[in-house]
């Protein structure tokens, strides 16, 4: 959530800051601003609303000569969206300006302390206390003042800080909120995410928690919180700027839906060796180690949690190990029974999700081995895990995840096959059969994507309903959770997912004439049970859309509309089922003229609790 960009170099900073912030719009925001050092003073331009409002106000930065500055897109937490609450924030004298992602948990006590010293606040934000703290600590040493101020802060923060008296440098800090440094021929950058700098460089340095960086026009120096220089390894981004652009599509979401066959291939291919075995990127969980595991946890948030629900069914079915799936925001507070005999799988697209990161640290504190599934190389979760598996989905810009979810499923399948084989629960022939089906998934998904036109037409029929219910059993229920989320988060239709067998335990009271029900009926052994549930809702007037396999034509009389998908191994069906549900959600949101890539109140990377 929120976005930070900073630049110092040989070119005017304002246009570069606006350009970088535009690449971070997907993170979610409701105001934008930039601060620049000009003629020994800090000038701030900021505005409520879209970045275009700010850009129009300053004519895209035309005529602004400053070559050092910081920028921010804010997603409101402390204080409503307004020009006053927009970042950057200045200190009382105007000597310092700060942009901030995260939440300062002790800001109220700090604000009271500062007010007692006579400091007047101009905003309702927690961020403004940081600018005043830096000013109070300043005796001429810019870096020392920032270090002193952050020692007073509790919570999460990525900071960019300007000082009017130091126009040839600026300082950035990271703690529990993502921040990278970009190194280019025209100068040096900071940013919340790689797409913001990718037009100018592929050379980046991911910062770790509690690291501070001083940037000048031709140098970057990283320090630890004690002020000691830190040697950092530079990494090269291996995808280009076009990967983070729409490429002719109307929205990033539909582009990323269409990229799923390639993303699945990129995830699967490197993990299968020439002999048909599974290669988990240098991770060697031996049979002896796995026999000591008495419980496996999958911990995640949002769509990643839904992928974990699928993972539970598959791992328990094949490996016969008890699996618990936990929402990360609950795991860390429920005093989980985790110890050295536990294997904890952490799932996160960004690798920066605050609750998930806290759950990881809690699991490690209790002695568990932690294996993470992430998409972003060098992210905090990846760095702090004992083992990491990258999904290789490429950049995912849309807030509503699609290809990241699909590749997370694939990694969970591979982990399930690997563990089951190591433990002798499946033999070589079983593993080959499962992998053969897995390898065919990208082509099967491509076939489903060719049905997009049918889904677009169908969406017109359901676009203006205000309530929807998704039902299914077993793995179908797991997919229903994600299908429901896709619809609600981008179309704003009230949507719920239920295990179909629970209808009579209360939910069926909500079904009335015209209620939209999507029934997932791809779990072969339970189709007859699901058919009974379809009849129940139809008898009460529901409008029913059924998703099933193309070998099951018996459902047609029971449904108002049927979507057919190809049949694969039952355990892998979720990878096929989710695709038409993504398309349905997208096209319904499109028909409702929603802002699909930037849904209201949502952010791509949730880096605060």
Nearest CA to 281 out of 370, 406, 408, 411 is that of 411
Q: Is the fold of 252-439 the same as that of 454-591?
A: yes
Q: Which residue of the set 48, 90, 312, 604 is catalytic? A: 604
Say what the pLDDT of residue 34 is. Answer: 97
Q: For 457-472, what is the mean pLDDT?
A: 91
Residue located via tokens 């969970």: 412
More confident site: 286 or 580: 580
pLDDT at 338 over 60: yes
Grade residue 241 by pLDDT with cuts at 50, 70 and 90. low
Q: For residue range 344-394, list pLDDT tens digits in order.
A: 999 999 888 889 999 999 999 999 999 999 998 778 898 899 999 999 888
pLDDT at 607 over 60: no
pLDDT at 402 over 60: yes
Q: For 263-279, what is the mean pLDDT?
A: 90
Tell the CATH topology of 252-439: Rossmann fold (3.40.50)
Say what the pLDDT of residue 491 is. Answer: 95
Q: For 398-425, what is the mean pLDDT?
A: 96
Say what the pLDDT of residue 608 is. Answer: 52
523 is catalytic: no
pLDDT at 575 over 80: yes
- Taking the C-alpha atoms of residue 253 and residue 588, their distance in angstroms, rounded to an integer, is 13
Q: For 389-405, what is the mean pLDDT?
A: 91
Say what the pLDDT of residue 83 is. Answer: 86
- Taking the C-alpha atoms of residue 187 and residue 183, their distance in angstroms, rounded to an integer, is 7
Q: pTM score > 0.75 for this model?
A: yes
pLDDT at 609 over 70: no
CB under 8 Å to 268, separation ≥6 — which residues? 410, 414, 438, 439, 441, 442
Range scoring the smallest mean pLDDT among 136-140, 154-158, 175-179: 175-179
pLDDT at 293 over 90: yes
Q: For 264-275, what is the mean pLDDT?
A: 90
Q: For 258-274, what is the mean pLDDT?
A: 92
Output b/e per residue, 422-455; b: 16+ Cβ within 10 A: bbeebeeeebeebbebbeebbebbeebbebbeeb
Nearest CA to 88 out of 120, 145, 60, 130 is that of 130
Range scoring the smallest mean pLDDT among 89-103, 214-228, 491-505: 491-505
Q: What is the 3-state secondary structure (H, E, C) of 206-251?
A: ECCCCEEEEECCCCEEEECCCCCECCCCCEECCCCHHHHCCCCCCC
2 is catalytic: yes
Range scoring the smallest mean pLDDT among 19-28, 35-44, 185-194: 19-28
Phi/psi of residue 400, each to 5°?
-80, 110
Q: Which residue of the set 2, 163, 301, 594 is catalytic? A: 2
Say what the pLDDT of residue 247 is. Answer: 74
Say what the pLDDT of residue 556 is. Answer: 66
Q: For residue range 582-592, list pLDDT tens digits in order.
A: 999 999 999 99
Sign of CA dihedral 374, 584, 522, 477: positive
> DSSP code of 376?
S
> Which CATH superfamily includes the segment(s) 454-591?
Glucose-6-phosphate isomerase like protein; domain 1 (3.40.50.10490)
Say what the pLDDT of residue 156 is. Answer: 84
Token digits of residue 205: 């340095």
Residues above pLDDT 90, as percent of the chain: 71
Where is 355: in which H helix or E strand? helix 354-365
Grade residue 89 by pLDDT with cuts at 50, 70 and 90. very high
Grade residue 251 by pLDDT with cuts at 50, 70 and 90. very high
Grade residue 240 by pLDDT with cuts at 50, 70 and 90. low
Token digits of residue 562: 């049927």
Q: For 462-474, what is the mean pLDDT?
A: 92
Residues above pLDDT 70, as percent of the chain: 97
- Taking the C-alpha atoms of residue 50 and residue 54, their distance in angstroms, rounded to an integer, is 7
Say what the pLDDT of residue 604 is. Answer: 60
Burial class (CB within 10 angstroms; exposed 0-12, middle 13-18, buried 19+) of 38: middle
Q: For residue range 541-553, list pLDDT tens digits in order.
A: 888 999 999 888 7
Say what the pLDDT of residue 232 is. Answer: 93
pLDDT at 218 over 80: yes
Tell the CATH topology of 3-239: 3.60.20
Q: What stretches of 492-572 show up as alpha helix (H) in DSSP?
A: 527-539
> DSSP code of 513?
T
- The domain ranges of the chain are 3-239, 252-439, 454-591
Range scoring the smallest mean pLDDT among 134-143, 278-287, 424-433, 468-477: 278-287
Average pLDDT along the chain: 91
Q: Strand pairing partners for 547?
A: 520, 563
Grade residue 12 by pLDDT with cuts at 50, 70 and 90. very high
| Secondary-structure breakdown of the chain: helix, strand, coil percentages, each rounded to the nearest 5 | 40, 25, 35
Say what the pLDDT of residue 532 is. Answer: 84
**Three-state secondary structure call for residue 153:** coil
Nearest CA to 191 out of 309, 20, 31, 427 is that of 20
Range scoring the smallest mean pLDDT among 94-98, 238-242, 328-332, 531-535: 238-242
- Asked if residue 393 lies in contact with residue 350, where contact means CB atoms within 8 angstroms, the answer is no
- Taking the C-alpha atoms of residue 293 and residue 291, their distance in angstroms, rounded to an integer, is 5
Cβ count within 10 A of residue 583:
27
Residue located via tokens 């992210």: 379
Where is 306: in which H helix or E strand? helix 302-319
């Amino acid at each position: 959530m929120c976005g930070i960009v900073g630049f110092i170099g040989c070119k005017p900073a304002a246009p570069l800051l606006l350009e970088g912030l535009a690449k971070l719009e997907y993170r979610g925001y409701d105001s934008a601003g930039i601060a620049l050092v000009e003629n020994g003073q800090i000038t701030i331009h900021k505005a409520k609303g879209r970045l275009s409002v700010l850009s129009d106000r300053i004519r895209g930065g035309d005529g602004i000569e400053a070559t050092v500055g910081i920028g921010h897109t804010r997603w409101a937490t402390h204080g409503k969206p307004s020009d006053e609450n927009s970042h950057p924030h200045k200190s009382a004298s105007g000597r310092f300006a700060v942009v901030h992602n995260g939440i300062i948990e002790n800001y109220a006590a700090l604000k009271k302390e500062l007010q007692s010293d006579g400091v007047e606040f101009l905003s309702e934000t927690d961020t403004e206390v940081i600018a005043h703290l830096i000013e109070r600590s300043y005796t001429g040493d810019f870096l020392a003042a920032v270090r002193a101020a952050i020692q007073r802060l509790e919570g999460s923060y990525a900071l960019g800080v300007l000082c009017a008296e130091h126009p040839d440098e600026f300082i950035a800090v990271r703690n529990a909120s993502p921040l990278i440094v970009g190194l280019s021929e025209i100068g040096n950058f900071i940013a919340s995410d790689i797409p913001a700098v990718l037009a100018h460089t592929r050379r980046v340095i991911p910062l770790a928690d509690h690291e501070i960086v001083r940037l000048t026009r031709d140098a970057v120096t990283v320090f630890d919180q004690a002020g000691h220089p830190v040697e950092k390894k530079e990494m090269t981004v291996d995808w280009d700027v076009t990967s983070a652009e729409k490429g002719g599509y109307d929205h990033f979401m539909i582009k990323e839906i269409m990229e799923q066959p390639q993303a699945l291939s990129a995830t699967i291919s490197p993990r299968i060796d020439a002999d048909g075995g599974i290669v988990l990127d240098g991770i060697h969980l031996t049979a002896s180690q796995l026999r000591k595991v008495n419980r496996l946890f999958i911990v995640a948030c949002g769509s990643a949690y839904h992928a974990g629900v699928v993972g539970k069914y598959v791992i328990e079915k094949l490996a016969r190990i008890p699996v618990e799936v936990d929402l990360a925001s609950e795991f860390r507070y429920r005093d989980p029974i985790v110890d050295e005999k536990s294997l904890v799988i952490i799932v996160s697209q960004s690798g920066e999700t605050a609750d998930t990161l806290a759950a990881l640290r809690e699991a490690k504190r209790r002695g568990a081995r932690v294996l993470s599934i992430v998409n972003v190389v060098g992210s905090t979760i990846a760095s702090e895990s004992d083992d990491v598996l990258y999904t290789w989905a490429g950049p995912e810009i849309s807030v509503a995840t699609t290809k990241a979810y699909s590749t997370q499923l694939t990694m969970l399948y591979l982990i399930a096959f690997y563990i089951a084989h190591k433990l002798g629960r499946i033999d070589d022939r079983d593993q080959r059969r499962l992998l053969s089906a897995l390898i065919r998934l990208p082509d099967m998904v491509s076939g489903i994507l060719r049905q997009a036109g049918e889904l677009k037409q169908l969406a017109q029929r359901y676009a203006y309903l205000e309530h929807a219910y998704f039902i299914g059993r077993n793995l179908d229920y797991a997919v229903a959770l994600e299908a429901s989320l896709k619809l609600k988060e981008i179309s704003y239709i009230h949507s719920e997912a239920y295990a179909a067998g629970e209808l009579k335990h209360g939910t069926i009271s909500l079904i009335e004439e015209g209620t939209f029900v999507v029934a997932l009926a791809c779990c072969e052994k339970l189709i007859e049970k699901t058919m009974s549930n379809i009849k129940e809702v139809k008898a009460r007037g529901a409008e029913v859309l059924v998703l099933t396999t193309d070998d099951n034509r018996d459902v047609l009389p029971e449904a108002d509309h049927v979507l057919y998908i190809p049949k694969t191994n039952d355990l892998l069906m979720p990878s096929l089922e989710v695709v038409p549900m993504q398309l349905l959600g997208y096209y319904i949101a499109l028909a409702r003229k929603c802002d699909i890539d930037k849904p209201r109140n949502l952010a791509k990377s949730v880096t605060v609790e």
